[in-house]
Amino acid sequence: MITSFFSKSKPINFLIVFLISFIALLTAVFKYESGAFTLERIVKLGLVFGVSYVSILVVDFIVTKNSLTGKSNYEILLYSLFLLLVPQVFTNQEVLFSNLLILLAIRRIVSIRTQKEVIKKLFDAGFLVALASLIYFWAALFFIVILLALFFFSEQRLKNWLVPFVGFSAVIVVAITASVVFNDTLYGYLTLAPQVDFDLSHYNSIQFMVAITVLLSFGLWSSIFYLKDLNTKTGTFKPAYKVVFVSCLVAAAILIIAPNKDGSEFVFLFAPLSVVITNYIETIADKLFKDLFVIVLFIIPFLLLVL
Protein backbone atom coordinates (compact mmCIF):
# COMPACT_ATOMS: atom_id res chain seq x y z
CA MET A 1 0.00 0.00 0.00
CA ILE A 2 2.68 2.51 1.07
CA THR A 3 5.03 1.55 -1.76
CA SER A 4 2.34 1.91 -4.42
CA PHE A 5 1.22 5.22 -2.88
CA PHE A 6 4.68 6.81 -3.04
CA SER A 7 5.86 5.05 -6.20
CA LYS A 8 4.71 8.08 -8.19
CA SER A 9 5.00 11.76 -7.40
CA LYS A 10 1.63 13.08 -6.23
CA PRO A 11 0.58 16.30 -4.45
CA ILE A 12 -0.99 14.31 -1.62
CA ASN A 13 2.41 12.77 -0.87
CA PHE A 14 3.67 16.19 0.19
CA LEU A 15 0.67 16.58 2.50
CA ILE A 16 1.45 13.23 4.15
CA VAL A 17 5.10 14.20 4.54
CA PHE A 18 3.96 17.54 6.00
CA LEU A 19 1.85 15.74 8.61
CA ILE A 20 4.63 13.31 9.56
CA SER A 21 7.07 16.20 9.93
CA PHE A 22 4.56 18.09 12.06
CA ILE A 23 4.15 15.06 14.34
CA ALA A 24 7.93 14.98 14.66
CA LEU A 25 7.92 18.65 15.70
CA LEU A 26 5.19 18.07 18.29
CA THR A 27 7.16 15.09 19.64
CA ALA A 28 10.23 17.25 20.06
CA VAL A 29 8.24 20.02 21.75
CA PHE A 30 6.38 17.85 24.26
CA LYS A 31 8.99 15.15 24.84
CA TYR A 32 12.35 16.90 24.67
CA GLU A 33 11.61 20.55 25.47
CA SER A 34 9.90 22.45 28.25
CA GLY A 35 8.55 25.93 28.74
CA ALA A 36 5.40 27.95 28.29
CA PHE A 37 3.85 28.48 24.87
CA THR A 38 4.44 32.18 24.50
CA LEU A 39 3.85 33.99 21.22
CA GLU A 40 7.61 34.26 20.75
CA ARG A 41 8.07 30.51 21.18
CA ILE A 42 5.21 29.68 18.82
CA VAL A 43 6.70 31.95 16.14
CA LYS A 44 10.11 30.33 16.68
CA LEU A 45 8.63 26.83 16.35
CA GLY A 46 6.81 27.89 13.20
CA LEU A 47 10.07 29.15 11.74
CA VAL A 48 11.90 25.97 12.69
CA PHE A 49 9.20 23.82 11.11
CA GLY A 50 9.20 26.01 8.01
CA VAL A 51 12.95 25.59 7.57
CA SER A 52 12.59 21.84 8.01
CA TYR A 53 9.80 21.52 5.44
CA VAL A 54 11.60 23.78 2.96
CA SER A 55 14.58 21.43 3.33
CA ILE A 56 12.35 18.55 2.26
CA LEU A 57 11.21 20.53 -0.79
CA VAL A 58 14.84 21.29 -1.66
CA VAL A 59 15.65 17.57 -1.46
CA ASP A 60 12.75 16.85 -3.82
CA PHE A 61 13.99 19.56 -6.20
CA ILE A 62 17.56 18.19 -6.22
CA VAL A 63 16.36 14.65 -6.84
CA THR A 64 13.85 15.57 -9.54
CA LYS A 65 16.05 17.99 -11.50
CA ASN A 66 19.04 15.65 -11.51
CA SER A 67 17.24 12.29 -11.84
CA LEU A 68 18.89 10.93 -8.70
CA THR A 69 15.99 8.49 -8.24
CA GLY A 70 13.07 7.28 -10.30
CA LYS A 71 9.79 9.18 -10.47
CA SER A 72 8.81 8.33 -6.91
CA ASN A 73 8.52 10.28 -3.66
CA TYR A 74 10.22 7.76 -1.41
CA GLU A 75 13.05 10.18 -0.63
CA ILE A 76 10.78 12.81 0.94
CA LEU A 77 8.84 10.12 2.81
CA LEU A 78 12.09 8.74 4.24
CA TYR A 79 13.31 12.24 5.16
CA SER A 80 10.12 12.92 7.14
CA LEU A 81 10.30 9.49 8.81
CA PHE A 82 13.91 10.18 9.81
CA LEU A 83 12.74 13.44 11.41
CA LEU A 84 10.23 11.40 13.41
CA LEU A 85 12.92 8.84 14.21
CA VAL A 86 15.19 11.55 15.67
CA PRO A 87 12.85 14.46 16.53
CA GLN A 88 15.63 16.06 18.58
CA VAL A 89 16.72 17.77 15.37
CA PHE A 90 13.95 20.31 16.04
CA THR A 91 15.54 21.30 19.35
CA ASN A 92 18.49 23.01 17.66
CA GLN A 93 17.42 25.63 15.17
CA GLU A 94 21.02 26.56 14.28
CA VAL A 95 21.73 23.07 12.94
CA LEU A 96 18.48 23.06 10.94
CA PHE A 97 19.41 26.37 9.29
CA SER A 98 22.93 25.08 8.63
CA ASN A 99 21.53 21.91 7.04
CA LEU A 100 19.27 23.93 4.73
CA LEU A 101 22.29 25.90 3.51
CA ILE A 102 24.20 22.66 2.95
CA LEU A 103 21.31 21.27 0.91
CA LEU A 104 21.31 24.42 -1.22
CA ALA A 105 25.07 23.98 -1.66
CA ILE A 106 24.63 20.34 -2.72
CA ARG A 107 21.98 21.49 -5.18
CA ARG A 108 24.56 23.75 -6.81
CA ILE A 109 27.27 21.07 -6.69
CA VAL A 110 25.15 18.36 -8.33
CA SER A 111 23.94 20.75 -11.03
CA ILE A 112 27.55 21.17 -12.23
CA ARG A 113 26.82 18.10 -14.36
CA THR A 114 24.99 20.35 -16.87
CA GLN A 115 28.26 22.25 -17.47
CA LYS A 116 26.34 25.54 -17.45
CA GLU A 117 27.50 28.49 -15.31
CA VAL A 118 30.03 26.22 -13.61
CA ILE A 119 32.03 29.07 -12.06
CA LYS A 120 28.90 30.66 -10.57
CA LYS A 121 27.76 27.31 -9.16
CA LEU A 122 31.15 26.62 -7.59
CA PHE A 123 31.25 30.09 -6.03
CA ASP A 124 27.73 29.65 -4.67
CA ALA A 125 28.59 26.23 -3.24
CA GLY A 126 31.67 27.53 -1.44
CA PHE A 127 29.73 30.57 -0.22
CA LEU A 128 26.83 28.49 1.12
CA VAL A 129 29.08 25.97 2.88
CA ALA A 130 30.91 28.85 4.55
CA LEU A 131 27.62 30.38 5.71
CA ALA A 132 26.54 27.00 7.07
CA SER A 133 29.82 26.66 8.95
CA LEU A 134 29.33 30.06 10.58
CA ILE A 135 26.12 28.69 12.07
CA TYR A 136 27.46 25.18 12.83
CA PHE A 137 31.22 24.88 12.47
CA TRP A 138 31.50 21.24 11.39
CA ALA A 139 29.29 21.88 8.36
CA ALA A 140 32.57 23.14 6.86
CA LEU A 141 33.44 19.49 6.22
CA PHE A 142 31.04 19.59 3.28
CA PHE A 143 33.64 21.71 1.49
CA ILE A 144 35.30 18.34 0.84
CA VAL A 145 32.24 17.42 -1.23
CA ILE A 146 32.86 20.39 -3.52
CA LEU A 147 36.47 19.39 -4.15
CA LEU A 148 35.60 15.75 -4.74
CA ALA A 149 32.80 16.82 -7.10
CA LEU A 150 35.39 18.65 -9.22
CA PHE A 151 37.40 15.44 -9.28
CA PHE A 152 34.35 13.32 -10.14
CA PHE A 153 33.40 15.67 -12.97
CA SER A 154 37.02 15.51 -14.24
CA GLU A 155 37.46 19.25 -13.94
CA GLN A 156 41.00 20.19 -15.05
CA ARG A 157 40.85 23.98 -15.19
CA LEU A 158 42.76 25.50 -12.30
CA LYS A 159 40.45 28.54 -12.00
CA ASN A 160 37.49 26.26 -11.33
CA TRP A 161 39.37 24.64 -8.45
CA LEU A 162 40.10 28.08 -6.98
CA VAL A 163 36.55 29.46 -7.25
CA PRO A 164 35.07 27.52 -4.25
CA PHE A 165 37.89 28.85 -2.06
CA VAL A 166 37.04 32.38 -3.21
CA GLY A 167 33.38 31.85 -2.32
CA PHE A 168 34.29 30.41 1.07
CA SER A 169 36.80 33.19 1.77
CA ALA A 170 34.26 35.88 0.85
CA VAL A 171 32.08 34.84 3.77
CA ILE A 172 35.05 34.76 6.15
CA VAL A 173 36.10 38.27 5.10
CA VAL A 174 32.57 39.61 5.59
CA ALA A 175 32.33 37.88 8.98
CA ILE A 176 35.63 39.40 10.12
CA THR A 177 34.59 42.84 8.87
CA ALA A 178 31.25 42.62 10.66
CA SER A 179 33.00 41.47 13.82
CA VAL A 180 35.34 44.46 13.75
CA VAL A 181 32.47 46.90 13.17
CA PHE A 182 30.02 45.51 15.73
CA ASN A 183 32.23 43.75 18.29
CA ASP A 184 35.55 45.57 17.99
CA THR A 185 37.35 42.25 17.55
CA LEU A 186 38.57 40.28 14.54
CA TYR A 187 37.06 36.88 15.16
CA GLY A 188 33.81 37.44 17.02
CA TYR A 189 31.78 35.49 14.45
CA LEU A 190 34.37 32.80 13.74
CA THR A 191 35.14 29.60 15.63
CA LEU A 192 38.93 29.41 15.93
CA ALA A 193 39.10 26.46 18.32
CA PRO A 194 36.40 23.98 17.23
CA GLN A 195 35.47 21.34 19.76
CA VAL A 196 35.48 17.62 19.06
CA ASP A 197 33.87 14.87 21.09
CA PHE A 198 34.33 11.20 20.18
CA ASP A 199 32.33 10.02 23.19
CA LEU A 200 29.40 8.12 21.68
CA SER A 201 27.94 7.34 25.10
CA HIS A 202 25.74 10.41 24.59
CA TYR A 203 23.67 8.16 22.34
CA ASN A 204 23.23 5.59 25.10
CA SER A 205 19.44 5.59 25.21
CA ILE A 206 16.86 3.24 23.74
CA GLN A 207 15.58 5.89 21.33
CA PHE A 208 19.03 6.76 19.98
CA MET A 209 20.18 3.14 19.81
CA VAL A 210 17.09 2.14 17.83
CA ALA A 211 17.48 5.16 15.55
CA ILE A 212 21.17 4.48 14.92
CA THR A 213 20.48 0.79 14.32
CA VAL A 214 17.80 1.62 11.73
CA LEU A 215 19.89 4.25 9.95
CA LEU A 216 23.04 2.14 10.02
CA SER A 217 21.52 -1.20 9.01
CA PHE A 218 19.22 0.12 6.27
CA GLY A 219 21.86 2.59 5.15
CA LEU A 220 24.70 0.07 4.87
CA TRP A 221 22.52 -2.52 3.13
CA SER A 222 21.25 0.06 0.62
CA SER A 223 24.76 1.46 0.11
CA ILE A 224 26.02 -1.92 -1.10
CA PHE A 225 23.51 -1.89 -3.95
CA TYR A 226 23.92 1.85 -4.49
CA LEU A 227 27.66 1.49 -5.09
CA LYS A 228 27.11 -1.59 -7.21
CA ASP A 229 24.64 0.28 -9.43
CA LEU A 230 27.08 3.16 -9.91
CA ASN A 231 28.65 1.17 -12.73
CA THR A 232 25.35 1.28 -14.61
CA LYS A 233 25.15 5.09 -14.48
CA THR A 234 26.36 6.93 -17.54
CA GLY A 235 27.56 10.40 -18.45
CA THR A 236 27.30 13.17 -15.89
CA PHE A 237 24.80 11.25 -13.77
CA LYS A 238 27.48 8.97 -12.33
CA PRO A 239 29.45 11.85 -10.69
CA ALA A 240 26.19 13.25 -9.29
CA TYR A 241 25.44 9.92 -7.61
CA LYS A 242 28.97 9.89 -6.18
CA VAL A 243 28.41 13.35 -4.71
CA VAL A 244 25.36 12.04 -2.84
CA PHE A 245 27.29 9.11 -1.40
CA VAL A 246 30.23 11.29 -0.31
CA SER A 247 27.73 13.60 1.39
CA CYS A 248 26.56 10.56 3.38
CA LEU A 249 30.11 9.87 4.52
CA VAL A 250 30.72 13.50 5.52
CA ALA A 251 27.44 13.57 7.48
CA ALA A 252 28.44 10.33 9.24
CA ALA A 253 31.80 11.91 10.16
CA ILE A 254 29.95 14.87 11.71
CA LEU A 255 27.94 12.46 13.86
CA ILE A 256 31.16 10.97 15.23
CA ILE A 257 33.00 14.23 15.99
CA ALA A 258 30.08 16.49 16.94
CA PRO A 259 30.87 18.25 20.24
CA ASN A 260 27.25 18.42 21.42
CA LYS A 261 25.62 15.10 20.63
CA ASP A 262 22.02 16.14 21.26
CA GLY A 263 20.62 14.42 18.17
CA SER A 264 20.32 17.52 15.99
CA GLU A 265 23.53 16.61 14.13
CA PHE A 266 21.71 13.63 12.56
CA VAL A 267 19.86 16.00 10.22
CA PHE A 268 22.89 16.30 7.90
CA LEU A 269 22.56 12.59 7.15
CA PHE A 270 18.85 12.52 6.34
CA ALA A 271 18.89 13.91 2.78
CA PRO A 272 21.74 11.89 1.22
CA LEU A 273 20.74 8.71 3.06
CA SER A 274 17.15 9.12 1.85
CA VAL A 275 18.40 9.20 -1.74
CA VAL A 276 20.61 6.14 -1.22
CA ILE A 277 17.83 4.07 0.35
CA THR A 278 15.29 5.24 -2.23
CA ASN A 279 17.55 3.97 -5.02
CA TYR A 280 17.61 0.57 -3.36
CA ILE A 281 13.84 0.48 -2.83
CA GLU A 282 13.29 1.21 -6.51
CA THR A 283 15.45 -1.77 -7.50
CA ILE A 284 13.53 -4.31 -5.39
CA ALA A 285 11.63 -6.57 -7.76
CA ASP A 286 9.78 -8.61 -5.13
CA LYS A 287 6.71 -6.52 -4.22
CA LEU A 288 6.20 -8.29 -0.89
CA PHE A 289 9.78 -7.66 0.20
CA LYS A 290 9.55 -4.05 -0.97
CA ASP A 291 6.38 -3.54 1.06
CA LEU A 292 7.97 -5.09 4.17
CA PHE A 293 11.12 -3.00 3.74
CA VAL A 294 9.19 0.28 3.57
CA ILE A 295 6.64 -0.71 6.24
CA VAL A 296 9.42 -1.42 8.76
CA LEU A 297 10.92 2.00 8.04
CA PHE A 298 7.47 3.52 8.43
CA ILE A 299 6.42 1.77 11.64
CA ILE A 300 9.58 2.04 13.76
CA PRO A 301 9.52 5.86 14.13
CA PHE A 302 5.90 5.72 15.27
CA LEU A 303 6.65 2.91 17.75
CA LEU A 304 9.38 5.07 19.28
CA LEU A 305 6.77 7.67 20.16
CA VAL A 306 5.60 5.51 23.07
CA LEU A 307 9.11 4.98 24.50
What is the mean pLDDT, run by run of 10 residues, along the chain of 307 residues? Answer: 74 93 94 83 93 97 93 94 96 95 97 92 97 95 96 87 96 88 73 83 92 96 94 85 97 94 95 97 92 94 87
Round to whole Å and give the CA distance between 49 and 296.
25
Query: Residue 276 in contact with residue 69, Cβ under 8 Å?
Result: no
- pTM exceeds 0.85 for this model: yes
pLDDT value at position 1?
Answer: 60
Work out how many domains the chain is built from and give that number.
Answer: 1
Round to whole Å and give the CA distance between 28 and 83.
10
pLDDT value at position 179?
Answer: 81
Query: Residue 17 in contact with residue 77, Cβ under 8 Å?
Result: yes
Reduced to 3 states, what is the DSSP secondary structure of residue 275? helix
- Domain holding 269, by residue range, is 2-306
207: closest CA among 52, 84, 93, 294? 84
For residue 269, give the amino acid letter: L
Biggest CA-to-CA distance, the chain? 64
